[in-house]
A and B are shown apart, each in its own frame.
Chain A
Amino acid sequence: DAGVIQSPRHEVTEMGQEVTLRCKPISGHNSLFWYRQTMMRGLELLIYFNNNVPIDDSGMPEDRFSAKMPNASFSTLKIQPSEPRDSAVYFCASSLGNNQPQHFGDGTRLSIL
């Protein structure tokens, strides 16, 4: 079974550059979540979508972060401009509903130099 697919797996870039993280949820799942995980802050929910519509973006740290879900099979998380404090592992997860078990992707390990 194809699980949640994230790309890239790793990204290293210089501060100020635009970063785009991609996620393909499990087919048929109608909820999609973006998380950020760091040692200091643990696992943080950034934003989630139901049926491609952003429901709660209160976890998005600031205007440099944006997320889109143009269709049921694709979502992006963009950081522009990136800063060293954005370095983290970013996970995407999907589920059949926003309170159902979530299936996580392998994450994108982002390093901003």
Chain B
Amino acid sequence: AQSVSQHNHHVILSEAASLELGCNYSYGGTVNLFWYVQYPGQHLQLLLKYFSGDPLVKGIKGFEAEFIKSKFSFNLRKPSVQWSDTAEYFCAVSSNKLIFGAGTRLAVHP
């Protein structure tokens, strides 16, 4: 069965720190990969997606993610976070349907 694992449930950073959120999935076939962000009190929004091609994907707001097929991973990164990045981040994987990870709550302190 397809599953998605996000290792960090809560992350606290200071502004300008670098961010990396882990995401691993279990599925042997071809998958599409996504990161969504949910700002406080809002709905989920797509940050970036990977379908094929360059495994390093650039998203909105300076985020990027790297697909490493051998590690079944799709980690999210940002070199320098801002207070406005405080949100919950969801990794999602789809083969025949979309499965979300449990989410990582990021708090950025000024």
Q: Do A and B come from one complex?
A: yes
- On A, residues with C-beta under 8 Å from B are 33, 42-43, 45, 48, 55-56, 91, 93, 98-107
Given A48-B97, A99-B94, are A106 and B103 neighbors across the interface (CB < 8 Å)?
A: no
- Identify whether the interface residues of A are mostly helix, strand, loop, or mixed: strand
A-B interface contact total, Cβ < 8 Å: 45
Q: Known: A48-B97, A99-B98. Contact between A104 and B49, CB under 8 A?
A: no
A-B contact pairs, 22 of them (CB 8 A): A42-B102, A42-B103, A43-B100, A45-B99, A48-B97, A56-B97, A91-B44, A93-B44, A98-B96, A99-B32, A99-B96, A99-B97, A100-B32, A100-B94, A102-B46, A102-B98, A104-B43, A104-B44, A104-B45, A106-B42, A106-B43, A107-B43
B interface size (C-beta, 8 A): 18
Whether B3 is near chain A, meaning CB under 8 Å from some CB there, is no
Distance in angstroms from A103 CB to nearest chain B CB is 8
In the bound assembly, the distance between CA atoms of A104 and B44 in angstroms comes to 6
Residues of B within 8 A of A (CB): 32, 34, 42-46, 49, 90, 94-100, 102-103
Assembled-state Cα–Cα distance A99/B100 (Å): 12
CA distance A106 to B32 in the complex (A): 24
CA of A98 to CA of B43 in the docked complex: distance in angstroms? 19
